[in-house]
Amino acid sequence: MSRAITTDLVADLARGAAVLGTGGGGDPYIGGLLARQALAEHGPVPTVALADLPDDAFVALVAMMGAPTVMVEKLPGLAEVVAPVRAIERLHGRRVTHVLCAEVGGVNSTIPIAAAAALGLPLLDADGMGRAFPELQMIIPTLYGVTASPLGFADDKGNVGVLETVDNLWTERIARVACVEMGCSVMISGFAMSGAQAREALVDSSLSTCLRIGAAITQARRDNLDPVARVVDELGGRELFGGKVRDVQRATSAGFARGSARIEGEGRELELLFQNENLVALLDGEPVVTTPDLIIVLGEDTGEPITTEALRYGQRVRVVAAPADERWHSPAGIDLAGPRYFGYDLDPLRFDGRRSQP
Amino acid sequence: MSRAITTDLVADLARGAAVLGTGGGGDPYIGGLLARQALAEHGPVPTVALADLPDDAFVALVAMMGAPTVMVEKLPGLAEVVAPVRAIERLHGRRVTHVLCAEVGGVNSTIPIAAAAALGLPLLDADGMGRAFPELQMIIPTLYGVTASPLGFADDKGNVGVLETVDNLWTERIARVACVEMGCSVMISGFAMSGAQAREALVDSSLSTCLRIGAAITQARRDNLDPVARVVDELGGRELFGGKVRDVQRATSAGFARGSARIEGEGRELELLFQNENLVALLDGEPVVTTPDLIIVLGEDTGEPITTEALRYGQRVRVVAAPADERWHSPAGIDLAGPRYFGYDLDPLRFDGRRSQP
């Protein structure tokens, strides 16, 4: 992706991001609105490929932290987006040169566009996960020893904080309780790293991938082709299941949207377990795919990605599984974001049913 | 108090502080241990009278935040004491020149001694309340528009944070949840102010008062006089009640030790309601004294102050009421720390039974 992000690209980008977001990251439509607003006000946002990033660049992520159920009702303002970046810049003693997406997912792929526009900075064509995950330390840079600290956070009321913690799990723990107290949604900035570190520790070409997937869905609809099949192709994944949503259990607790959904089709049942993101798929009670691989719910005919908070009784959906960045399957990656971390007593299963580690 | 604080003064100072601490602020013996350790290591701590403070001094408080029930089991280390001060100095761009006690109370009168010793700074002969209160915004500087922000906080694990909030209540809210997550006890530093502001917004001569009260108790014991009567004299208060503790209800929730105690004597009953500190005294069900005035529980014969977490069934105690700094009785003071703020539907009553405001 060598071009700038303009308003006409936002819809495809947000849609593609919502596919990779595996149910988390908030409503792509809302996220798109925010990005469009910022682009209209500040002009196109230039993107920079990882390969073109200078070694002495100073990259930091900008993201929204909180329950997507709250995020979608409370768009951040400009001050809220800029404040956490300024807070960490003050501690680092230098200015951030490039904005990074923490994850791909509805809101958290488009918030950084708005942030980059507001800050007048280019956006990296990369992200920290290649998917979305619910906790702050669950990011590939953690596997490379990049610290979340100093982590800036800001709310819509004007409250700002900075944390410097002994590890990224502690950043998550303290920022999470602060986030809940501040209204279940804050803007954060952190994981600052050099250009050299960024090239090693990030997932390359994420924005390009989102845009490609989003455009493939749009094009398939236009050509009367099957958008879901196009997504499966683009991701190198497989279609797991198709059917009708017959039950959704959902609760926002401790800053997360946790729950499960049951989908019924041709006499079988697929159960999805989620915490912001879809984490486990069980077919007739047997696990078939787990985190860290991707479990994606799409509209049956439209291929429109459906976030966990938008899942509703009666929706006709198809569920796609796809491979995660291979680094998530390392022992340290599985410790960070495998099913056991989330409290599911299951061995990790890849999108194609193979065990994650032999 | 024109002299330095030396180890031989610590016992009386901590005891006097525990009297004014009205049940909160933690165990004075534990607080004394920490101060003695620091004094032995770093030498005496010079104190400075408010009147001698230069206008361009830069004063900040150092305190322990959390549930006293936890505080007494977890003494802070040197790094934990220094970290929050360094954190706010970085944001202010200047060094703190004098350490201030947030409140008078067991641990929070002696922690600043240790902090001053460790930081190599003088300690102000003053405090922010003239008593102890459970929440961070409940400090007379709030009435003068002094902001808690930036507020530094640090735990025993090495985690540090700084908050810049829109008001002091938000500092309390966010710091409190962080404190609970970090183990229910953190060291804080904030409310930085100039010498000129300090002279206006603080309670003068607090350390001297503590030392005088502590020494009066010690001397009365030595002379076989009644220590409780001496405390009443020194405070200009009155003895409310004497009897035997027959019931204590206590729970640590949301970072506070909340509860009540019933004391029985001569066929009557005094009930104390507390949240870290004693806040309301009811005689046979009728309110007789409330916050912001002081409600103090002392050992019947020894005059030893008894903190709310040390109250036990069967103790023989006497309860003393005494006037708070008059600024607490202003409308803004009552809003900040009157009985209704704490959820008691009562008009504020002074130590002598008069209404706080006509």
Hey, where are the domains in chain A? Answer: 7-204, 227-337
Give the chain A residue whose CA is nearest to the CA of B157. A166
pLDDT at A74: 63
State how far residue B176 is from chain A, nearest Cα, in angstroms: 9
Query: CA-CA distance, A151 to A84, in Å (whole number)?
Result: 8
Q: Do A166 and B159 touch (CB under 8 A)?
A: yes
pLDDT at A1: 56
Task: Reduce the DSSP state of residue A229 to 3 states and report it.
Answer: helix
DSSP of A138-204, one letter per residue?
-SHHHHTT----SEEEE-TTS-EEEEE-SSHHHHHHHHHHHHHHTTSEEEEEEEEEEHHHHHHHSEE
What pairing do the DSSP bridges indicate for beta strands A123-127 and A98-101? parallel
Q: Is the pLDDT of residue B152 over 90?
A: yes
Q: Which residues of B150-169 are buried (b: 16+ CB within 10 A; e: fewer)?
A: bbbbbbbeebbbbbbbebbb
Q: Is the pLDDT of residue B329 over 70?
A: yes
Q: Is the pLDDT of residue B254 over 70?
A: no
What pairing do the DSSP bridges indicate for beta strands B160-164 and B185-194? unpaired
Please classify residue A266 by burial: count the beta carbons closer than 10 Å to its beta carbon, then call 0-12 exposed, 13-18 middle and 19+ buried. Answer: exposed
Amino acid at A168: N
Q: Do A178 and B178 touch (CB under 8 A)?
A: yes
Provide the percentage of residues in chain B whose pLDDT is more than 90.
80
Contacts of A92 (CB under 8 A, 6+ apart): A58, A150, A192
Question: What are B25-63's pLDDT values in tens digits?
Answer: 777 777 788 889 889 999 999 999 999 999 999 999 999
- Give this prediction's pTM: 0.90
Query: CA-CA distance, B161 to B131, in Å (whole number)?
Result: 27
Q: Give the CA angle between residues B162, B164, B168 to the nearest 5°.
A: 110
| B149, B153, B164, best to mutate vs chain A, most A CBs in 10 Å | B164
Both tokens assigned to A223: 């050509």
Beta bridge partner(s), residue B257: B252
For residue B186, which of B74, B65, B81, B82 has the smallest C-alpha distance?
A: B65
Provide the percentage of residues in chain B whose pLDDT is more than 70.
95
H helix or E strand, kind and range, residue A39: helix A28-42
What angle in degrees, to the nearest 10, is found between the helix axes of A206-222 and A227-235?
A: 150
Give the chain A residue whose CA is nearest to the CA of B155. A165
Q: Give the CA angle between residues A255, A257, A260 to the nearest 5°.
A: 150
For residue B276, which of B295, B263, B262 has the smallest C-alpha distance?
A: B295
Query: CA-CA distance, A287 to A280, in Å (whole number)?
Result: 7
User: What is the largest distance, in Å, between two alpha-carbon atoms of chain A?
Assistant: 61
H helix or E strand, kind and range, residue A280: strand A277-283
For residue B294, which of B313, B312, B274, B267 has the smallest C-alpha distance?
A: B274
Amino acid at B89: E
pLDDT at B71: 62
Whether A68 and A311 have beta carbons less than 8 Å apart is answered as: no
Both tokens assigned to B317: 């105690």
Q: Could you report the predicted ipTM of this complex, rounded to two decimals?
A: 0.86
Query: CA-CA distance, A68 to A25, in Å (whole number)?
Result: 6
Please classify residue B335 by burial: count the beta carbons closer than 10 Å to its beta carbon, then call 0-12 exposed, 13-18 middle and 19+ buried. Answer: exposed
Q: Is the pLDDT of residue B1 over 60?
A: no
pLDDT at A112: 92
Q: Do A166 and B174 touch (CB under 8 A)?
A: no
DSSP secondary structure code for residue B265 in this structure: E
Considering only CB atoms, B178 lies closest to which of A87, A164, A174, namely A174
Contacts of B145 (CB under 8 A, 6+ apart): none
Nearest 10 degrees: CA dihedral of A324, A326, A331, A334?
A: -10
What percent helix, strand, coil does chain B show, rounded to 5? Answer: 35, 30, 35
Question: What are B56-103's pLDDT values in tens digits?
Answer: 999 999 998 987 666 666 667 778 889 999 999 999 999 999 999 999
Query: CA-CA distance, B243 to B250, in Å (whole number)?
Result: 20
Whether B317 and B300 have beta carbons less than 8 Å apart is answered as: yes
**A173 shares contact with chain B (CB less than 8 Å):** yes
Query: CA-CA distance, A290 to A269, in Å (whole number)?
Result: 16
pLDDT at A254: 62
Both tokens assigned to B113: 């001694």
What are the phi and psi torsion angles at A2 (to 5°)?
Answer: -105, 0
Q: Work out the number of other CB atoms within 10 angstroms of the CB of residue B19.
A: 30
Q: What is the mean pLDDT of each run of 10 residues along chain A (358 residues)?
A: 84 94 83 86 95 96 81 70 95 96 88 91 97 95 98 96 98 96 93 97 96 97 97 97 95 74 96 94 97 98 93 96 97 96 95 84
pLDDT range class, residue B328, cuts 50, 70, 90: very high
Query: CA-CA distance, A199 to A193, in Å (whole number)?
Result: 10
pLDDT range class, residue B358, cuts 50, 70, 90: low
Whether B105 and B25 have beta carbons less than 8 Å apart is answered as: yes
Query: CA-CA distance, A257 to A109, in Å (whole number)?
Result: 19
Q: Do B159 and A178 touch (CB under 8 A)?
A: no
Beta bridge partner(s), residue A5: A45
Share the mean pLDDT of chain B.
93
Query: CA-CA distance, B291 to B123, in Å (whole number)?
Result: 28
CATH fold for the domain made of A227-337: CV3147-like (2.40.390)
DSSP of B28-68, one letter per residue?
HHHHHHHHHHHHHHH--B-EE-GGG--TT-EEEEEEEEE-H
Q: Which residues of A102-134 are buried (b: 16+ CB within 10 A; e: fewer)?
A: bbbbbbbbbbbbbbbbbbebbbbbbbbbbbbbb
Class of domain B7-204: alpha beta
Q: Do B160 and A164 touch (CB under 8 A)?
A: yes
Query: CA-CA distance, A322 to A213, in Å (whole number)?
Result: 13
Task: Quote the strand ranges of A12-117, DSSP E.
Answer: 47-48, 58-66, 98-101
Q: Do B165 and A159 touch (CB under 8 A)?
A: yes
pLDDT at A32: 84
Q: Distance from CA of residue A311 to its chain's centroid?
A: 17
Task: Reduce the DSSP state of residue B262 to 3 states and report it.
Answer: strand
Whether A143 and A287 have beta carbons less than 8 Å apart is answered as: no
What pairing do the DSSP bridges indicate for beta strands A277-283 and A286-290? antiparallel
Both tokens assigned to B64: 């322990």
Query: CA-CA distance, A53 to A96, in Å (whole number)?
Result: 13
Count of pairs with CB atoms under 8 A, one residue in A, one in B:
58
Query: CA-CA distance, B151 to B164, in Å (whole number)?
Result: 7
Q: Tell me what the mean pLDDT of segment B157-176 comes to.
A: 97
- Chain A, 287 to 326: residues with Cβ < 8 Å from chain B are none
Query: CA-CA distance, A292 to A131, in Å (whole number)?
Result: 9
pLDDT at B68: 62
Considering only CB atoms, B159 lies closest to which of A90, A170, A178, namely A170
For residue A159, which of B237, B102, B149 has the smallest C-alpha distance?
A: B149
**A161 shares contact with chain B (CB less than 8 Å):** yes
Q: Do B165 and A165 touch (CB under 8 A)?
A: no
Question: What are B266-282's pLDDT values in tens digits?
Answer: 999 999 999 989 999 99
Tallying the residues shown for chain A, one arrives at 358
**A166 shares contact with chain B (CB less than 8 Å):** yes
Q: Which residues of A218-233 are buried (b: 16+ CB within 10 A; e: fewer)?
A: bebbeeeebbbebbbe
Residues of B whose CB is below 8 A from A166: 157-159
